[in-house]
Amino acid sequence: MESVENLNTNPIEIADGVYWLGYTDDNAGLHCNPYLVRDGDEAVLIDGGSRDDFSHVMLKILRTGLKPAQILRLIYHHYDPDLCGNLPQLEAIINTQELRIISHMENNVFIRYYSAKTPKLDYRVINHEFTFSSGRKLTFHGTPFCHAPGSFMTFDEQTKTLFSSDLFGSYDANWHLYVNLEKHCGMCEGQRICPNTGKKCPLYGIDQFHKRIMPSNTALSHALDVIEELPFERIAPQHGGILKTREDAMVVIDYLRRLQNVGIDYLVAEKKL
């Protein structure tokens, strides 16, 4: 297990050239996960973080040995401030004419309010992909209304890492870099305390996050269909912990498919409108 000091001061390489740039805060209750994909002298920053995250994120980028000007693209899976808040600071320190933002047209309308400076691309217009000079490819996959109209995910073909944005996110003060699942988790019913271990259930925070953040069972089910078609080996969400194996991810997918009354469906069922 990584020490808190190491987590908070160093980039953590979760796959070849893929770095977690977040930090842990036991008082947060919601951990945000910026990621860097580096390929030689080129890099892409995914969901770069809030305004207050900037110093942490940039320090970790520098500790990979990368120069800010080598960041070619900023990918934003939607437009929330926990992803986009430090965009102006990133632009200022990257400071190149080549920098581009990749997102979705629906997101770019709002991302422009963080900064109008950097040209903004719709991933659909660039053929759903970005290719490094080496040929390493990132592909983009739409997950509309999970939770924004223009939400999507990024898949690194080389490491088979899926950056899932809010999908697989979690509310959890008992945070770990990796979600720790055991055999009995496959039968979990989403209780706050696991009856098998007496510890906090690693799926409970995921349960609560999806019920509150995802708008409906229909949107969530469609996104899970998209995910299952991809040959991923790990899932790196924007909140919560990383799912380090496909087997762990499938446990969570099965659990999410069993959820009832997600989003507006919950409010309608409980007549709490």
Q: How many CB atoms lie within 10 A of CB 118?
A: 21
The answer on 107 and 9 residing in a single domain is yes
Query: 54 and 174: one domain?
Result: no
State residue 257's pLDDT score. Answer: 95
**Mean pLDDT, to the nearest integer, of 160-172?**
95
What are the pLDDT digits (tens) for 113-127? 999 999 999 999 999
Residue 138 within a domain: no
Statement: residue 273 has pLDDT above 60: no
- Residue 112 CA: distances (Å) to CA of 109, 121, 213: 6, 12, 23
CATH for 235:
3.60.15.10
Q: Is the pLDDT of residue 214 over 70?
A: yes
Confidence band, pLDDT 50/70/90 cuts, at residue 188: low
What crossing angle do the helices spanning 204-213 and 246-257 adopt, rounded to 10°?
50
pLDDT band at 31 (very low <50, low <70, confident <90, very high): confident
At 234, is the secondary structure helix, strand, or coil?
strand
**For residue 63, which of 9, 22, 126, 18 has the smallest C-alpha distance?**
9
Q: How far is the C-alpha of 96 from the C-alpha of 86, rounded, in Å?
A: 17
Supply the DSSP symbol for 239: B
In this structure, are 166 and 117 located in the same domain?
A: no
Distances (CA, A) of 232 to 3, 151, 179, 200, 266: 27, 19, 16, 27, 31
Which is it for the CA torsion 128, 131, 135, 138, positive or negative?
A: negative
Report how many domains make up the chain: 2
Do 72 and 173 lie in one domain? The reply is no
| Residues 178, 221 within the same domain | yes
- Other beta carbons within 10 angstroms of residue 121's beta carbon come to 18
Segment among 21-25, 151-155, 183-187, 228-232 with least mean pLDDT: 183-187
Looking only at the bridges linking them, the beta strands covering 120-122 and 152-156 are unpaired
Most confident by average pLDDT, 2-11, 237-246, 262-271:
237-246
Q: pTM value? A: 0.94
110 shares its domain with 164 = no
Across the chain, the runs of DSSP E, i.e. the strands, are 12-15, 18-20, 35-39, 42-46, 71-75, 100-103, 120-122, 129-131, 137-142, 152-156, 161-165, 234-237
User: Does residue 158 lie within any of the structural domains?
Assistant: yes
- Same domain? 214 vs 262: yes
Q: Answer yes or no: do 103 and 158 share one domain.
A: no
| Maximal CA-CA distance, the chain | 56
Q: What is the pLDDT of residue 228?
A: 97
Say if residue 200's pLDDT is above 90: no
In a domain, 143, yes or no: no
- Same domain as 75, residue 190: no
Q: Which domain holds residue 235?
A: 153-273
| 6 and 60 inside one domain | yes
Answer whether residue 54 is part of any domain.
Answer: yes
- Mean of all residue pLDDT scores within the chain: 91
The whole-number pLDDT of residue 179 equals 92
In a domain, 146, yes or no: no
Residues 160 and 51 reside in one and the same domain: no
- Average pLDDT estimate for 65-83: 97
The answer to whether position 210 is within a domain reads yes
Evaluate whether residue 167 is within a structural domain.
yes
Query: Is 148 domain-assigned?
Result: no
Residues 195 and 121 in one domain: no
Last residue of a domain, one of 88, 107, 125: 125
Confidence at residue 175, expressed as pLDDT on a 0 to 100 scale: 84
